[in-house]
Amino acid sequence: MLTEFHIGIDDTDSDKGGCTTYTASVLFEELLGRGFKPSDFPWLVRLNPNIPWKTRGNGALAVHFLVDQERIQEVRRIALDVVEKTIVASASGTDPAVAFLKGQVPRILREFSGRALHDVLSVREARAVAGKSGAEVHALMGIRGLIGSLAAIGADLQSAMHTFEIIAYRTRENLGRPRRIDYESVKSMNAKCDAGTFNNIDPESGRILVSPHGSDPVLVGIRGYSPQEVLDAFSEVQLDEEIERVMIFRTNQGTGAHLATGRMAADLKLHQCGTLSGRVDEVPRVMRGGHVIFRLRDSSGLIDCAAYRPTEALAMAARDLLPGDMVRVSGGVRGFRQGIPTLNLERLEVLHLVEKIERLNPLCDNCGGRCESMGREQGFRCRKCGRRVANSSKIQIPQERRLRPTVYIPPPRSRRHLTMPSEKPRISDRLDRVEEFQLRAEDYN
């Protein structure tokens, strides 16, 4: 009898190389090659991006197969073998872990995974959840990877909003060398496939965002809304080096899932992320380097919101806020100052703007010149003709606000993997079947 078998993997990479998506691709193809039937695309699940011990994008992976009861041991052995072979074992701070789960994913694991998107979880809790949900966990070096390996299995990628990424991997001999991709072809791919893909290029700087720069094995990764669209886009890009393999992942990238939680200022904890609404409490401060900090008050307390210069339009918008404006802010808690949390902003939604009033001295009714004040409650005198204007007060002139009640997010080059690229995300209603997208590197070399 066939049963669902889920394998979660995390933390097989380090800053010295490797990539957990690569491990998952190797495992997926290994199982496929031995005749096992996948029940879905491999999943690339991004977790809380504020976790300081992540290597890059806090990604964890899961693969899902339909396995005959009698062959489950064989699949377990293959998975552990592949993970051991692909980890960058010499690197410290790498805590590779594998989790196995047979049958349907229980609610407790779904909830754990949901919280891994925006909270900081402990290994102790991960072990407890594994015990309660019947998952088997293996830590190959340190133990922290258990959190991500379980969260990957528990993610809600089929019913909740999701996107896709196609990743092509480099051959071993090219690792560490500059990537050879025809950048003009990426630009024309972006122009042609713009509606079905996202974050290919940063429009202002022209920077190519589909190709990383480090020592990891990813040559190119294209994000989009359906397997067919990422595949079509990939076919448009000219690669000037051989690829070892190519894989399509179902992901939660570009869904904003980490910011979905409503929070209160007084309850925020270090490295959590989420969204809260409130009233701007003080005139924003512009720091050296162009970073902007403003204080926000909700019914529970205060937070400082930090919009860093690379967030560009977001930082510019933050600069123009006035006390009394109502906003909804999203981001991660970077730290606390005098007990007040500082939220690194990833999204700013302007809900309501107060009127901006400029207060000017009155005009002279004799010559039309601007008057000057003669002191507190002493009235005004015209600077031009000297006439005194006794019973007058400053006049109030409403000013135009540059801000609009809209959403401000950073430019593509400064976004998180999870950042929703536009406020109207596209949701594909097609049921894409993994069997139709089994790709062979030979076809692209």
Of 60 and 318, CB closest to ligand ATP: 60
What is the bridge-based pairing of β-strands 243-251 and 43-46? Answer: parallel
Q: Residue 113's CB: how many other CB atoms inside 10 A?
A: 28
Of 29 and 95, CB closest to ligand ATP: 95
Taking CB atoms, the residue at the shortest distance from ligand ATP is 148
Of 179 and 279, CB closest to ligand ATP: 179
Q: How far is the CB of 351 from ligand ATP (least distance, A)?
A: 29
Q: Of 61, 51, 53, which Cα lies nearest the Cα of 12?
A: 61
Q: How far is the CB of 261 from ligand ATP (least distance, A)?
A: 13
Of 118 and 319, CB closest to ligand ATP: 118
Of 154 and 284, CB closest to ligand ATP: 154
- CA 407, CA 402: separation in Å to the nearest integer? 14
Q: How far is the CB of 264 from ligand ATP (least distance, A)?
A: 20
Q: Of 195, 192, 97, 181, which Cα lies nearest the Cα of 147?
A: 97
Which helix (H) or strand (E) segment is 116 a member of? Answer: helix 107-116
- Helix 72-86 with 20-33: angle, nearest 10 deg: 140
Q: How far is the CB of 84 from ligand ATP (least distance, A)?
A: 16
Question: What's phi and psi for 239, nearest 5 deg?
Answer: -100, 130
Q: How far is the CB of 82 from ligand ATP (least distance, A)?
A: 15
Write the DSSP string, 33-79.
HTTPEESSPPEEEE--TT-TT-SSS-EEEEEEEEEEGGGHHHHHHHH
Of 348 and 418, CB closest to ligand ATP: 418
- CA 166, CA 19: separation in Å to the nearest integer? 14
Q: How far is the CB of 243 from ligand ATP (least distance, A)?
A: 19
Task: Point out which residues bind ligand ATP (CB under 6 A).
Answer: 10-11, 13, 19-20, 47-48, 51, 53-59, 95, 116, 119-121, 144-145, 147-148
